[in-house]
């Protein structure tokens, strides 16, 4: 899968670590939003991170998700095709990589390994 087609999800490390051993993952905003926000491509994810989470000092991780393994319905609700939404909890076996996000001292997100 190319870097431009990876499904990515940004989440605080403690939120992921508290659920990673379970069958499903539910992000903090899931109940309020009714779906899980995903992003395609690292540049898009970093842009969103800096727009919405720069002032949150927690350590963040990026979950790389295999689109073909997601068991809940997935829809693209935007015209750009860059932001898929999972309408249900995420089955944790769809997560293929967990990477820590690199940040600057001012909180800016810079990338992930």
Widest CA span of the chain, in angstroms? 38
Report how far residue 108's alpha carbon sits from residue 96's, in angstroms, rounded to the nearest whole number: 25
Report how far residue 47's alpha carbon sits from residue 30's, in angstroms, rounded to the nearest whole number: 21
Q: Where do the structural domains in the chain lie, given as residue ranges?
A: 3-112
- CATH fold group of domain 3-112: ADP-ribosylation fold (3.20.170)
Q: What is the pLDDT of residues 42-59, one digit of tens each?
A: 999 999 999 999 999 999
Of 62, 13, 57, give the one whose Cα is nearest residue 40. 62
Q: What is the pLDDT of residue 1?
A: 42
- The answer to whether 30 and 89 are in contact (CB under 8 A) is yes
Q: Which of the 8 DSSP states describes residue 76?
A: E
Q: What is the pLDDT of residues 56-94, one digit of tens each?
A: 999 999 999 999 999 999 999 988 899 999 999 999 999
pLDDT-based confidence at 113, cuts 50/70/90? confident
4 pLDDT more than 70: no
């Amino acid at each position: 899968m190319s870097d431009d087609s990876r499904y990515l999800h940004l989440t605080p490390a403690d939120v992921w670590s508290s659920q990673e051993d379970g069958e499903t993952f539910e992000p903090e905003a899931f109940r309020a939003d009714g779906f899980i926000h995903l992003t395609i491509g690292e540049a898009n994810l970093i842009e969103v991170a800096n727009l919405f989470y720069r002032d949150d000092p927690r350590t963040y991780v990026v979950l790389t998700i295999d689109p073909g393994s997601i068991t809940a319905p997935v829809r693209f609700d935007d015209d750009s095709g860059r932001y898929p939404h999972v309408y249900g909890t995420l089955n944790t076996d769809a997560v293929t990589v967990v990477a820590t996000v690199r940040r600057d001292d001012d909180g800016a997100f810079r990338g992930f390994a």
